[in-house]
Amino acid sequence: MKIELIPAIDIIDGKCVRLTKGDYDQKTVYGHPLDMAQEFERIGYQRLHVVDLDGAKSKHIVNGSVLSRITEETKLTVDFGGGIKTDEDIEEAFRCGATMVTIGSIAVTEPERFMGWLEKYGPERIILGADVRNGRISINGWKEDSSEDLLPFLKKYIDAGVGKVLCTEISKDGTLAGPAIDLYKKVMETYPELHLIASGGVSSMDDIKALDAAGIPAVVFGKAIYEGKINLQELWDWQNV
């Protein structure tokens, strides 16, 4: 079984964008999210990672209507993150059609709330977001670094039932500089049962093949698509040989 391919759509002001290293001042706009989602589906992709960057910044969901359009007008399985801070936010995400949600900051700042969501919705619908900078978890749209070290942070929630983790190396994100393979290998060596989703820095099919060879279960990639570094049809054909 080859690595799971998960294209990403990041949203600001209802538009598909990519940031560099999470910097809102380094933003490139690529068009409408629904158009991109429909193109992914046309080729054959079944998963989609959607991030409400306005929501991450505002600390509440902002682009729920965009999520609704994607889930209503495609059959993609969507995981959604960004701005999910309250019970109302997570309910809105599911109401707007998300199959799964990615939760990062709340797992750091309000662990009891996160545990409550994990129990209520089940680990199949909750992805733990682990955004890493200098070995520590970063929160609130990557604006703040916490005191949580990555591996102990993961252990706490894996022991509580988390099975899926989206791990982003912030220094790589949006740079097309190659993924943090050594970091992901270290995580998988420590927690081999984990469904780890690698994110950040993917610049080519070769990067994805390297992650696959390293035994990483899944990968999220975005900028390489929009900058023409990856041919989506070619990548899909490789995965499905």
User: Where in the sequence numbering do the catalytic residues fall?
Assistant: 10, 131
Distance CA 148, CA 130 (A): 10
Contacts of 94 (CB under 8 A, 6+ apart): 101, 121, 125
Q: Angle at the Cα of 83 (from 77 to 86), degrees rounded to 5?
A: 100
Contacts of 125 (CB under 8 A, 6+ apart): 94, 99, 100, 101
DSSP 197-226: EEES---SHHHHHHHHHTT--EEEE-HHHH
Distance CA 100, CA 195 (A): 14
Q: Which two tokens stand for residue 201?
A: 């820095």
